[in-house]
Amino acid sequence: RHAILGHSERRAMGEGNSDIKEKIRRALFSGLAPIVCIGEKLRDADGKYLKVLESDIKEIFVGLKLGDFKKIIIAYEPLWAIGKGTEDAVSPGKLQETVLFIRKVMSSMTPPQIARKLPIIYGGSVTSENAFSLAKDGGISGFLVGHESLNPTNFGEIARALLRA
């Protein structure tokens, strides 16, 4: 029922925003709900990474029908955090700031009530150790779990953390 589009591994192979936009269109036409990955390569102290996120969002989502946004999930997947340990993941506070920024950019393209309800999940070094705090204080709707999904115990702990948050 879902299709992950724009994953960092596909982007590393040369997939760009125009490719992702076309895949969203085709997924929606086929009745699939797109999970669209966005994320910066580096997080700088000056906030330049926000321009990268804003540009990606606007390039990917411009021109979609309002009804399409109700079927889309955004996965915030910062490349600098992928495959790292708990200490290298984004903090809950920084995650919440980024989620608010994504919603602000989406509000410039959709009515605010749609942007507020848009599911945003996190996919950067989610572990059983940080899942609860990220879910509770990060402003997200869920996770896009990578390598931790290979360990059933850890994956179960992440799922339980979402339920507790």
Reply yes or no on whether 147 is catalytic. no
Reply yes or no on whether 22 is catalytic. no
Instruction: Give me the amino acid identity at 52.
Output: V
β-sheet bridge partners, residue 142: 121
Exposed, middle or buried, 87 (CB in 10 Å: 0-12/13-18/19+)? Answer: exposed
Which residue of the set 54, 59, 77, 87 is catalytic?
Answer: 77
Cα–Cα distance measured from residue 25 to residue 121, given in angstroms and rounded to the nearest whole number: 21
Which residue of the set 2, 7, 147, 157 is catalytic?
Answer: 7
Sheet of 73-76, strand order: 2-5, 33-38, 73-76, 120-122, 142-143
Query: Which residues are catalytically annotated?
Result: 7, 77
